[in-house]
Chain A
Amino acid sequence: MLKIKDLHASVEGKRILNGLSLHVKPGEVHAIMGPNGSGKSTLSQVLAGREDYQVDSGEVEYLGQDLLDMAIEDRARAGVFLAFQYPIEIPGVSNAYFLRAAVNAVRRHQGLEELDAMDFLKRVKEEMKTVGMKEEFLYRSVNEGFSGGEKKRNEVLQMSLLEPKLAILDETDSGLDIDALRVVADGVNRMRSPDRALIVITHYQRLLEYIVPDFVHVLSDGRIVRSGGSELAHELEKHGYGWAKQLEAEQKGAQA
């Protein structure tokens, strides 16, 4: 589904990703762990198409297409979803409008009929129940005045409404208490399916107690320095991120 080959990317001239490669197949859940500054968020922003991030070299293939060549909205319409680490507040735009506009943009692309206000409300209210959001959040401005947990729930709500093929969750656990974490994780787990892939980006092992990944990758200095099964997360937790640095040094040594 997703093939990242030797990806190099920079922000404002600073190199962040230094040859990252990753293969993700449908049905798989991948966790990417790494310390601050290792390039986790850069990877998610590059995949979503943020223009401030410069791709210097490498390839990203998504369902046989060159993802890097696609416009931001076309990626979304083709089924790529990024759950933002810091969801944006948009004063004056009701969440209901935003959610429906997003759903219909994707539906139009898929050749489906747009949902009218009634059908949409029915659908969104069901989904809101499952992520534990009160209906009033439909009528408030997008993310404005939402707590950290409410913003993350709103991201999960968007994901479940948009039914992406590839969902990237960028530190969706940050700033959440244990109850909110569980709700968010439940929402994500419900999304698991044989034809959908998930990439869970996180600093902490904690989230992976609830969303058990098939693969764990350790990111350090813009490349993956170790890949393994879910047990790798525990190992990393035990050794700390100093270990990631050590692995990175070893890898560089091996290459030299």
Chain B
Amino acid sequence: MSSVQSWQADFLARHKQLPGAELPWLAALRQRAIDRYAAEGWPTPKKEDWRHTSLAPLEQASFDTQPQSLDVADMVRSLRADEAAHWLVFVDGRYVPALGDVGKLPAGVRVGTLADALAHDADAVQEAFGSEADGNSTAALNLALATDGAFVHLARGAALEAPVHVVFVTSGEGAAVFPRNLYIAEAGAHGRIVEHYVGRDGNVSFTNTVSRVHVAADANLSHVRLQQEAHQAFHLADIDVEQEGKSYFASHSISLGARIARHDIATRFDGERAESLLNGVYFANGQRHVDHHTLIGHAQPNCVSNEHYRGILADRGRGVFRGRILVSPGADGTDAIQRNDSLLLSKLARTDSRPELEIYAEDVRCTHGATVGQLSEDSLFYLMARGLDENHARNVLIYAFVLEGLARIESDAVRQRASRAVRALMPGADILEELA
């Protein structure tokens, strides 16, 4: 049985038990989604969007959607020590309320699970759920098989002070999980959401996750995805955002784990004077591969987008960045900045960077730039001439490069967690703690 067939079989075996299976709209949607996935199969490098990223190793592996989970209580406890937050914890795709703590929520804020929302407020879910045509065929597979995820609704004007922190742990042998997260910020609301993906060393797990975000007029939502899966894992992740007028959305994609990590991040401006920040930091060592594909739809006038991705590629690590900015006719006053900076730490490391600007409007300011470089010899010499040994000097420069990207993250706790995770990837970097 091919990989595609086995996922079809999995769907057939389980679709009647999936949350909300009794809802006709959802059952039909899931069927169309699995049909699309079956028809298209896995994306292959023949597709322009997947030219540099092959999922062949994923196709060859086998996974388990209902693995025996390990005890991850200690791990989750250490994460929860980071900051005060509303915690949702999923282990191998299953919600584990005992490990989390949603805590007290401000008025107008709802934080819970997708399964719960389907049971109690299916109409709200239906509106935000998305369609089988969205994204890659991998996103359709997510739609077909998604069992649970985070559901966050901020009512008009609601203010969420502490972030919602969603932890997804893959612990069971060969665990395959399909989280689907829905975030809705109504007009004038603001809040922060952190999605944190952690795995277990050596586990060949598979995470296929989709987050759908709606940011209404004047609302402000910040989203961090901290991806720290096992270095043997597969991670496919979509973020799909719609922004109304004068809204602000920030995405921080910090991708540090997985054998193959693919991030598709798209935002579309449906109203004037909206703004978005797409920020990314990634680190691929060993034979690991990190791919970011972004699409910013400047469909309305006077919107602003800032896009900054920086990657560190060590050993045989490979980075891919493709950033499309699409400025529709009439979207005058568009202001778009895109940058992708890569640091190659070895001769065998590689990066492919492709900006794509399609501009159909007048009076726009769009700039893009990509740099690929090695550590500066001048800087290394300067540090060593002050007594730092070569490894220390190199680590200082690598870490400084990373910190410039992490500095855009608003939350101290998340920034520190991310910077600790980066240091863990750099041999001898434990002395760098107080660099910032």
CB proximity of B323 to chain A, nearest CB, Å: 22
CB proximity of A78 to chain B, nearest CB, Å: 9
Is the C-beta of B390 less than 8 angstroms from some C-beta in chain A? Answer: yes
Is the C-beta of B434 less than 8 angstroms from some C-beta in chain A? Answer: yes
Q: Is B396 touching A101 in the complex (CB atoms < 8 A)?
A: yes
Q: Is B385 touching A76 in the complex (CB atoms < 8 A)?
A: yes
Q: Which residues of A contact B71 (CB under 8 A)?
A: none
Q: Which residues of A contact B434 (CB under 8 A)?
A: 97, 100, 117
Q: Is B400 touching A87 in the complex (CB atoms < 8 A)?
A: no
Is the C-beta of A243 less than 8 angstroms from some C-beta in chain B? Answer: no
Known contacts A84-B382, A101-B396, A93 near B388 by CB under 8 Å: no
Q: Which residues of A contact B382 (CB under 8 A)?
A: 84, 87-88, 90
Q: Which residues of B contact A102 (CB under 8 A)?
A: 386-388
Is the C-beta of A50 less than 8 angstroms from some C-beta in chain B? Answer: yes
Distance between Cα atoms of A87 and B378 in the complex (Å): 9
Q: Is B386 touching A88 in the complex (CB atoms < 8 A)?
A: no
A103-134 contacts to B, CB under 8 A, are 105-106, 109, 117
Distance between Cα atoms of A87 and B399 in the complex (Å): 20
Is the C-beta of A40 less than 8 angstroms from some C-beta in chain B? Answer: no
Is the C-beta of B308 less than 8 angstroms from some C-beta in chain A? Answer: no
Q: Is B400 touching A93 in the complex (CB atoms < 8 A)?
A: yes
Is the C-beta of A94 less than 8 angstroms from some C-beta in chain B? Answer: yes
Q: Give the number of residues in B that approach A within 8 Å (Cβ atoms).
A: 25
Distance between Cα atoms of A40 and B206 in the complex (Å): 61
A35-53 contacts to B, CB under 8 A, are 48-52
A49-96 contacts to B, CB under 8 A, are 49-52, 71-73, 75-77, 82, 84, 87-88, 90-94
Q: Which residues of A contact B381 (CB under 8 A)?
A: 48, 50-51, 72, 88
Interface centre among B379, B382, B403 (most CB of A within 10 A): B382
Is the C-beta of B389 less than 8 angstroms from some C-beta in chain A? Answer: yes
Q: Is B400 touching A92 in the complex (CB atoms < 8 A)?
A: yes
CB proximity of B398 to chain A, nearest CB, Å: 10
Is the C-beta of B50 less than 8 angstroms from some C-beta in chain A? Answer: no
CB proximity of A76 to chain B, nearest CB, Å: 4
Digit string of B352-393 for contact with A (CB within 8 Å is 1, else 0)? 000000000000000000000000111101111111111010
Q: Is A73 touching B384 in the complex (CB atoms < 8 A)?
A: yes
Q: Give the number of residues in A that approach B within 8 Å (Cβ atoms).
A: 32
Q: Is B387 touching A77 in the complex (CB atoms < 8 A)?
A: yes
Q: Is B400 touching A82 in the complex (CB atoms < 8 A)?
A: no
Q: Is A93 touching B435 in the complex (CB atoms < 8 A)?
A: yes
Q: Which residues of B contact A72 (CB under 8 A)?
A: 381, 384-385
Known contacts A88-B378, A88-B379, A101-B396, A94 near B386 by CB under 8 Å: no
Distance between Cα atoms of A50 and B404 in the complex (Å): 28
Is the C-beta of A162 less than 8 angstroms from some C-beta in chain B? Answer: yes
Closest to A77 in B: B387
Is the C-beta of A18 less than 8 angstroms from some C-beta in chain B? Answer: no
Digit string of B175-206 for contact with A (CB within 8 Å is 1, else 0)? 00000000000000000000000000000000
4 closest cross-chain pairs (CB), A and B: A92-B400, A105-B387, A102-B386, A76-B387
Which A positions have Cβ atoms within 8 angstroms of B? Answer: 48-52, 71-73, 75-77, 82, 84, 87-88, 90-94, 97-98, 100-102, 105-106, 109, 117, 141, 158, 162
Task: Provide 25 A-B residue pairs closer than 8 Å at the C-beta atoms, listed in order of the A residue.
Answer: A50-B381, A51-B381, A52-B377, A71-B384, A73-B387, A73-B389, A75-B385, A76-B384, A76-B385, A76-B386, A87-B382, A90-B382, A91-B400, A91-B404, A92-B404, A93-B400, A94-B436, A97-B434, A97-B435, A100-B434, A101-B386, A101-B388, A102-B388, A105-B392, A162-B387
Known: A76-B386, A90-B400, A105-B388. 19 other contacts (CB 8 A): A48-B385, A72-B381, A76-B385, A88-B376, A88-B382, A90-B382, A90-B383, A92-B399, A93-B435, A94-B435, A97-B396, A97-B434, A97-B435, A100-B434, A101-B386, A102-B386, A102-B387, A102-B388, A105-B386
